[in-house]
Chain A
């Protein structure tokens, strides 16, 4: 049975606040200390050093703008697509660190929140699914409904 539109809208609004808010907060911590974020990325041993620095400078802005776009519902379909892809990349990076036995901070929220890799992996997966669900819902809203007689 489909949920009532007001209930569904309220759930969708809550999901937007959680997803957008999480990325805005995470980006803010990283923007405050990009050097620490660069060190965190370096611990994954996945990228050469210059790419690590470039990512440490670029990624927080992408997270901030995409998170804000989801919150204010402007260019939000693109933002939801970006956040879905980002969460997928985070999951792959965290899983690879976990498989290689790396004992590292995930760096997801800067150094403000220390999270074990498995918990961070679950959180990235949950946020990615949330972004994907919101994107599909938003895409369906954009399809014109047939006129009723």
Chain B
């Protein structure tokens, strides 16, 4: 019977070969960007200084959206993407900056939604609010 470490080596090598092949053959893998493409983060001060209209997008579940959100914000989450995206497209006008936010500086949902908007809709101006809902509440007490 073969040594377990030798079996590990076979599986690790076979996976590397399959991954290398998929780099050339898998259409979605070939389209991956090896350079960082995260959405730009802006603070509330930056937003206040801006002159262009803003469409706020709350990237937390619908329950959190119902409890409270920035006035005029639309709800968009990865889980309910297909259902909620039409509302965003109705609210969006050319020239509008889309500002995505979630709860706190540590949450990743806003960056995930912003990147997906950039990737799938190729919208030009999608940004993420630094500090999220927490920073908005601190500023608008």
Contact = CB atoms under 8 A, between A and B. Distances in A.
Contacts of B32: 34-35, 38, 53, 56-57
A77 interface: yes
A28 B117 CA distance: 24
B22 interface: yes
Contacts of A101: 104, 106
Contacts of A62: 11-12, 15
Contacts of A100: 106
Interface residues on B, range: 35 or more
Interface residues of A, number: 39
Interface in B23-49: 23, 26, 28-29, 31-36, 38
Contact of B6 (A32, A34, A78): A78
A99 B12 CA distance: 31
A34 B18 contact: no
B62 interface: no
A103 B15 contact: no
A137 interface: no
A43 B112 contact: yes
A49 B36 contact: yes
Contact of A82 (B12, B22, B109, B116): B12
